[in-house]
Amino acid sequence: MRSINKLRSIHTSAQPKRACSEMYLLSLTDVLITISWSTFGYVAQSLGGLTPWITGE
């Protein structure tokens, strides 16, 4: 049981770093196609100074 909790702790602590990395990488693209309720798309377009193409829901 202890090893399972340790793995969960490692996995959970890595998630915010991974999410930030993915949003940063999205911001480096030439074209960003996203949906209106995407937090990743919103942050990436802000970081990259992009004008996103927003698709319908």
What are the pLDDT tens digits along the chain (57 aa)?
Answer: 566 666 566 556 678 888 899 999 999 999 999 898 888 889 999 999 998 898 886
User: Is residue 42 a contact partner of residue 54, using CB atoms and an 8 Å limit?
Assistant: no
DSSP H or E run through 33: strand 33-35
> What gap in Å lies between CA 30 and CA 23, rounded to an integer?
14
Give the pTM: 0.67
